C-alpha cells in the first residue's frame, strides 16, 4: 500500500520534507498567502504522515538504522574506516519512535491552528519557515544516532525557537524573552559541544553506539555527563534552570508555545538517551538517579507553587509545564536509580519509567492543548490577564470544553490521560520511596486547585459587557485543538493499549543498551 521507497527512506524524508518546504515557503508566499497556507499545511501533513509511517514501522519491525551517504542504508561501518561508524546515522528505536509520534500529532494540530490564528499578522513567510525548521530540529534530535548531529539539530531548534519567541515584538518584551532563551541555549549548546569534544578526544568517535560501547566512566566522562545533564535539564525547563520558561512560553505566540513544549520534551529525550544509552550501567546509577529525582521533585514543587499566584494565564501554564516536567524526571529517575538491579527494576523500575515516558506524550498533548486554548482566548479577548477575563463560557463553548479536558488531564483526574500516567508514577514511586509519591500527589492537588481558579476566572460568571461581542474561535483553530483533545481523551480511556504498544517498548529500548549498540556495530 505504502510505496517501499517511502518506508525505506522515511528517516531521511521526514527531515528533508520540512527542510525543503521551509526554504521554498518564502518563494511561495510571493504568489499568494492562500497558496502558502496550503503549502505549509500540506508540507506538515506529509511530514506527519512520513513520521507516523516510520514510527509504525519501528514498532512493528524493530529499530531502524539509516546511514546517510552510504551505498546502502544499513551499511553503518564503512570498510576502510577501521571499524568506526564515521557517517551520520539515524537510529530510530521505539523510544525515538514515541517522540516521533508526539511531534507528528502535535505538529499537525499546531499548524492547523496557526494557519488561522496567525492569518492577520505580518512576516508570515519567516514564521512558517522557522516553524518548519523547528519541526526539522525536533525530528532530527530524537532520531539521530550521532552525538554531533544531535548538537546540530539542537542548534537548528534553538535558533528557530528564539526567532519565533520574538515573533510578536510586543514593545520589546518578547525580544527580551527571546534573547534570554537564546543566550541560555547558546551557553547550553556550548556545554554540550565541550562534552562532545571530550568524548571525541577520549574515544575517537562521535557515534553514540560506538561511544557507548567504549564507555569507561572516567573522570572526563563524569565532567561530560555533568555538562550534558545541566545543559539538557536547562533546555527542558527543570528547576533550578527553569527561569527562561515563563518568559519564553508566555511571550511566544500560543501556537509556538505549544511547539516549544514538544521541543522541551525532545531535550528531555536527549537527556534520557545520553544517560541510558550512552552511560547505562557504567555510571553510578543510584547517585545520578537520585540527582534526576531531586531535579524532578524540585521542578514539581517549585513549578506548582510559582504557578498559583500568577495572574497571566500563559505564565501560569508555563510554570505548570515546569511542574509537569518534574513528573517525567521523577519517573525516569526512579527507573535509573534501580538500573542494574534486576529484581527492583522488574518490581517497579520499569513501571516508573513507563509512567515517566507515558507522561511525556500525555504532557505534550494536554499542555499543547491548554496553550492553544489560551491563544484562542487571547485572539478573541486580547488579554492574558485573568483578572480582566470572565464569563467567556457563554460565548466560547468549544474552547471551554477543550480547556476543561486539558485542565482535568493535567490535574490527573480520570478518565483523562494525565491520570493514567500519574497513577503509574504514584504506584511505582511509592514502592521506591513513599515520601516522593506523597509529594507527587500533593503537587497534583495543587495543580487542580490552580486550574479550578483559572477555569473560574476565565469562563464562569455573568457575561461581561466588554466581551459582549466575543465569538467562538475560528474553525481551523478548533480543529487543531480538537485533534489534541481527542488524543487526550482516547489515551485516557484506553491507557492499557497505549502503554502496551507504545510505552513499554520505549522503556525497554531505553534500558537495553546492548541492543542500541549492536544495531549499529553488529553483534559485538
Partner 1 sequence: MRMSKIVRTGANLLYPFILIFGLYVIMHGHLTPGGGFQGGAVVATAAALVIVAYSYDEVAGMLKKTAMKARESIGLLLFIGAGIAALVVGAPFFYNFLANSGLLFGMPVIPGPNPGDLNTAGVIPIMNIAVGIEVWGGLAIILLYMLSGIRKEES
Binding site residues, partner 1, CB under 8 A: 9, 12, 16, 19-20, 23-24, 26-27, 66-73, 88
Closest CB to partner 1 among residues 158, 265: 158
Nearest to partner 1 of 70, 308 (CB atom): 70
Our CB check for partner 1 shows the closer of 153 and 348 to be: 153
CA 358, CA 206: separation in Å to the nearest integer?
A: 30
Please give the helix or strand (H or E) that residue 81 lies within, else none.
none
3-state secondary structure (DSSP) of residue 205: coil
* Shortest spacing between CB 517 and partner 1, in angstroms: 21
Q: Contact at 8 Å (CB) between 369 and 484?
A: yes
Looking at residue 472, the DSSP 8-state letter turns out to be P
- φ/ψ of 144, rounded to 5, equals -75, 150
C-alpha cell at 316: 501560569
Cell of 378: 487571547
Nearest residue (CB) to partner 1, 72 versus 219? 72
Burial of 341 from C-beta contacts in 10 A (0-12 / 13-18 / 19+):
middle
In the chain, helix, strand, coil percent, each to 5?
80, 0, 20
Cβ 26 to partner 1 shortest distance, Å: 6
Residue 324 · residue 367 · CB < 8 Å: yes
Identify whether the C-beta of residue 282 lies closer than 8 Å to the C-beta of residue 350: no
The least CB distance from residue 126 to partner 1, in Å, is 10
CB of 22 to partner 1, least distance (A): 9
Shorter beta-carbon distance to partner 1: residue 66 or 516? 66
- Between 3 and 496, CB nearer to partner 1: 3
Between 67 and 292, CB nearer to partner 1:
67
Nearest approach, Cβ of residue 62 and partner 1 (Å): 19
Is the CB of 156 or the CB of 424 nearer to partner 1? Answer: 156
363 half-sphere exposure, CB direction, 13 A CA radius:
30
Task: Yes or no: say if 508 and 350 are a contact pair by the CB < 8 Å rule.
Answer: yes
> 197-228 burial, b if ≥16 CB within 10 A, otherwise e?
ebbeebbebbbbbbbbbebeeeeebeebbebb
Q: Provide the 3-class DSSP secondary structure of residue 324.
A: helix
- In the complex with partner 1, the residue whose CB is nearer, 70 or 401, is 70
CB of 20 to partner 1, least distance (A): 5
Report helix, strand or coil for 65.
strand
| Smallest gap from residue 144 Cβ to partner 1 (A) | 13
Least distance from partner 1 to the Cβ atom of residue 260, Å: 24
CB of 125 to partner 1, least distance (A): 9
DSSP letters along 130-166, please? HHHHHHHHHHHHHHB-BHHHHHHHHHHHHHHHHHHHT
Q: Residue 106: in which H helix or E strand, if any?
A: helix 94-117
Q: Which residue, among 229, 200, 76, 80, has the nearest Cα to 145 in the 3D structure?
A: 76
Least distance between partner 1 and beta carbon 37 (Å): 19
Instruction: Please identify, using beta-carbon distances, which residue of 19 and 458 lies nearer to partner 1.
Output: 19
Q: Which three cell numbers stand for residue 208?
A: 553514540
How far apart CA 151 and CA 157 sit, in angstroms, is 10
The nearest distance, CB 96 to partner 1, in angstroms, is: 17
CB 236 within 8 Å of CB 267:
yes
Q: In whole angstroms, what is the distance from residue 41 CA to residue 192 CA?
A: 34
Q: Which is nearer to partner 1, 68 or 243 (CB)?
A: 68
Amino acid at each position: 500500500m505504502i510505496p517501499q521507497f517511502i518506508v525505506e527512506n522515511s528517516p531521511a524524508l521526514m527531515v528533508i520534507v520540512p527542510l525543503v518546504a521551509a526554504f521554498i515557503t518564502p518563494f511561495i508566499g510571493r504568489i499568494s498567502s492562500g497558496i502558502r497556507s496550503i503549502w505549509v499545511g500540506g508540507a506538515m501533513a506529509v511530514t506527519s504522515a512520513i513520521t507516523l509511517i516510520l514510527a509504525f514501522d519501528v514498532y512493528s519491525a524493530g529499530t531502524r538504522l539509516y546511514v546517510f551517504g552510504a551505498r546502502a542504508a544499513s551499511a553503518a561501518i564503512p570498510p576502510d574506516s577501521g571499524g568506526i561508524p564515521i557517517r551520520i546515522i539515524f537510529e530510530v528505536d521505539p523510544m525515538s519512535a514515541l517522540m516521533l509520534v508526539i511531534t507528528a500529532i502535535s505538529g499537525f494540530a499546531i499548524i492547523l491552528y496557526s494557519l488561522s490564528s496567525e492569518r492577520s499578522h505580518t512576516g508570515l513567510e519567516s514564521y512558517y519557515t522557522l516553524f518548519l525548521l523547528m519541526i526539522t530540529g525536533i525530528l532530527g534530535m530524537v532520531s539521530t544516532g550521532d552525538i554531533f548531529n544531535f548538537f546540530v539539530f539542537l542548534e537548528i531548534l534553538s535558533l528557530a525557537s528564539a526567532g519565533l519567541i520574538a515573533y510578536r515584538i510586543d514593545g520589546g518584551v518578547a525580544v527580551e524573552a527571546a534573547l534570554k532563551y537564546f543566550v541560555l541555549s547558546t551557553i547550553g549548546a556550548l556545554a554540550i559541544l565541550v562534552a562532545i569534544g571530550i568524548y571525541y578526544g577520549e574515544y575517537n568517535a562521535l557515534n553514540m553506539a560506538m561511544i557507548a560501547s567504549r564507555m569507561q566512566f572516567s573522570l572526563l566522562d563524569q565532567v561530560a555527563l555533568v555538562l550534558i545533564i545541566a545543559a539538557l535539564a536547562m533546555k527542558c525547563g527543570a528547576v533550578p534552570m527553569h527561569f527562561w520558561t515563563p518568559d519564553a512560553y508566555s511571550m511566544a505566540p500560543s501556537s509556538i508555545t505549544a511547539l516549544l513544549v514538544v521541543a522541551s520534551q525532545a531535550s528531555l529525550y536527549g537527556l534520557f538517551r545520553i544517560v541510558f544509552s550512552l552511560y547505562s550501567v557504567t555510571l553510578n546509577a543510584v547517585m545520578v538517579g537520585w540527582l534526576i529525582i531531586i531535579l524532578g521533585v524540585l521542578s514539581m514543587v517549585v513549578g506548582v507553587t510559582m504557578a498559583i499566584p500568577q495572574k497571566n494565564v500563559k505564565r501560569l501554564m508555563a510554570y505548570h509545564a515546569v511542574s509537569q516536567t518534574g513528573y517525567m524526571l521523577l519517573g525516569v529517575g526512579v527507573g535509573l536509580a534501580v538500573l542494574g538491579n534486576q529484581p527492583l527494576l522488574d518490581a517497579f523500575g520499569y513501571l516508573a519509567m513507563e509512567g515517566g515516558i507515558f507522561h511525556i506524550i500525555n504532557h505534550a498533548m494536554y499542555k499543547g492543548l491548554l496553550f492553544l486554548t489560551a491563544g484562542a482566548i487571547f485572539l478573541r479577548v486580547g488579554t492574558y490577564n485573568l483578572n480582566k477575563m470572565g464569563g467567556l463560557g457563554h460565548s466560547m463553548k468549544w474552547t471551554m470544553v477543550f480547556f476543561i479536558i486539558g485542565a482535568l488531564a493535567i490535574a490527573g483526574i480520570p478518565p483523562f490521560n494525565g491520570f493514567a500516567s500519574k497513577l503509574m508514577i504514584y504506584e511505582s514511586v511509592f514502592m521506591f520511596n513513599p515520601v516522593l509519591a506523597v509529594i507527587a500527589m500533593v503537587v497534583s492537588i495543587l495543580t487542580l486547585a490552580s486550574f479550578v481558579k483559572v477555569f473560574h476566572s476565565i469562563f464562569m460568571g455573568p457575561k461581561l459587557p466588554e466581551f459582549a461581542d466575543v465569538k467562538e474561535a475560528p474553525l481551523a483553530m478548533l480543529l487543531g485543538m480538537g485533534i489534541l483533545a481527542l488524543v487526550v481523551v482516547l489515551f485516557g480511556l484506553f491507557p492499557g493499549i497505549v502503554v502496551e504498544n507504545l510505552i513499554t517498548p520505549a522503556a525497554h529500548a531505553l534500558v537495553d543498551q546492548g541492543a542500541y549498540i549492536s544495531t549499529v556495530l553488529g553483534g559485538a
